[in-house]
Structure 1
């Protein structure tokens, strides 16, 4: 039986267990390791089966703890310790909040531009707040926006292992929220995003097409609230389809210092750069590097330049300033449809504010920009 059928079989068996209450709500599913041993497959195969269940919002995956069957009845009865502040009545004047983790030229500016332009068309007034990866700042932003009487919120959530309690409470109360870029697994909140899984597959296939066989993955910590996990899955799936090897020795997945943040972390950045340089030195067989975003990709490229290896190895990544107009782009990368993400987020929020149902997920088209040189 081929590997595709194997992970489908694991998925089907677990799905049947959930439907028959063999795995009741709140129960823990077997781990990737346990499933791999039970079905005599690799952990990559068992991981994919679990991720397929998570994609259907049947389970939630908690890093370091395991995968649990979701129990929405319990969630609906839970209430955060800190209540939301009382809302002012603005009489339906179209006031909305926009809460972003961060934004910049590489990713986010065009999303904000799309949101602002569509708000003008819808006669909405937007209030923008940034959290810079800080959960307390996200909580503060929600409290202030609710107190001001916003009728809906567009959110690019903070990446972390736990959900913000205010987001959880508002979603259970059916308050209009639309996510951009990052889904929150297990919560019924619509998200406008890129098909990160397929885009990553396309990017890795491009490296393979160019002759790369040993390709590493570099990222920030993978969490439940991040598109990073989908990109990692796409990376794994592409290598699996092409029969190429990968493993934990090929991954650097905790490079957290390069994430946007309120405080400076020069020591952490220095440590991460040393980790990357040591990895490159210890793995000379690796010729392709897949970084989850531009900041990390450029960091890897600069290190390769310092080591004199930039002509021998290639770096690809997500985002970056659109070079599609350039006949000689330097890096192969994914260009997301940022402006349309912003526009569709406002349209989804408008429908939710009117009490209409919207699809759980909307994929905005992306483009793969191919480099003309091996960089």
Structure 2
């Protein structure tokens, strides 16, 4: 859907991350609204673990929307797992704790992320060598509403981390507990080195086949599958934790992300992390009118009066830029593909990458 480039703000000389919508999607109203929604939704989540949107607008030459964010040094959790394999429990707890802090703040703002997965969790490196976990890509996030709109929406999110209610054909509210499900699946992936439903994914003939297999639910305890597939030994207590976090019935899951993480610490007998203002999040419909963001109701915000000029430093190392999807380039090589410069070149000028 988009590509994120390392870029230089010509006004401040600060290096930033510049996110551009794929050119083939610029004329698609749904994708444009989903892309620009990220800026407004992210602004509602006050958390150290959500990436700030510094600027947003429409490139006047190409008509493409763009977002400007701080440039993070590090790599996403998917890459971390690919390089390191299964992670130890204390590391996973540290990551989950920071993810839960972001989710708690989002849920308090009545926002459901709906696409939590390893690729949307970034492990940023601080100057002191410590790590800061950031939750990325609120582009398909949705405000929780009293009225179900599930039947009118396309299936959004990554199949291996989708909660059952996100893919059922009957009308059903998708609440913050969909993110709790994804958090449980993400925890298993980090602990084991592959997703719980990796075997079903390998055996399926496509996304719909995988979703049908996942609809059945767990076919074996998490610890047994981890041992059989990856020779990873997990305490048997993880089975009850995973079953609750990923229960088919949303009401049977943990009440909040922080509650799930506190219970996770107990499974491994690790120190319980602290959460500021942690409290369960109810799924009871509110009696007060709530703002709704539905696909058919989104309106594109007007372009800002001022336009930013950017010169892109493309072709940089993968650890220095968050690559959402390498669909295109602007006059340079990016993630193994090379294409002709687009009309966006008037707003983004290619520059040599750092050695």
Judge same fold: TM > 0.5, yes or no.
no
Identify which of structures 1 and 2 has the higher relative contact order when contacts are C-alpha pairs closer than 8 Å and 6+ apart.
2
Instruction: Mark the structure with the bigger radius of gyration.
Output: 1
Question: What is the TM-score when the length of structure 2 is the normalising length?
Answer: 0.23
The structure where helix makes up a greater share of residues is: 1
Question: What is the TM-score when the length of structure 1 is the normalising length?
Answer: 0.22
